[in-house]
Amino acid sequence: MERIGYASNEEKTWAMLCHLSALAGYIIPLGNFIGPLVIWLIKKDEYAEVNRQGKEALNFQISMLIYFAIAGILTLVLIGFLALIALAVFNFVMIIIASVKSNNGEPFSYPLALKLIS
């Protein structure tokens, strides 16, 4: 049963898809950024929660792109390989956690995300 004042099931689903679409980055180059961006741009004016969660997803994925670039540079001194693996696992786990929380209607904020889009 839906509680008054909380996001509708459709809104929660779109918010969850903002996060899940970032998994496209494991298949398509820059898909982790493009997926959430497309969903956010399409649904941000229709649903307030999609607007909030879309910004969270985009901020996190932009942050991850920056962190991956730094880790890529660090591969020159070998520590970057471990950092790349750790970042890939961290990214995957955070996307799943954010998706589940969004689908449950719980607010979620990614750790280590730079607030570039507000």
> How confident is residue 85, by pLDDT bands cut at 50, 70 and 90?
very high
For residue 70, the model assigns a pLDDT of 95
**Band of residue 3 on the pLDDT scale cut at 50, 70, 90:** very low
Residue 6 pLDDT: 54
More confident residue, 2 or 50: 50
pLDDT in tens, 4-17: 445 688 999 999 99
**Orientation angle between helical segments 48-74 and 9-20, nearest 10 degrees:** 10
117 contacts 58 by C-beta, under 8 angstroms: yes
Task: Answer for the pair 104, 42: CB distance below 8 angstroms, yes or no.
Answer: no
Q: 96-106: per-residue pLDDT in tens?
A: 999 999 999 88
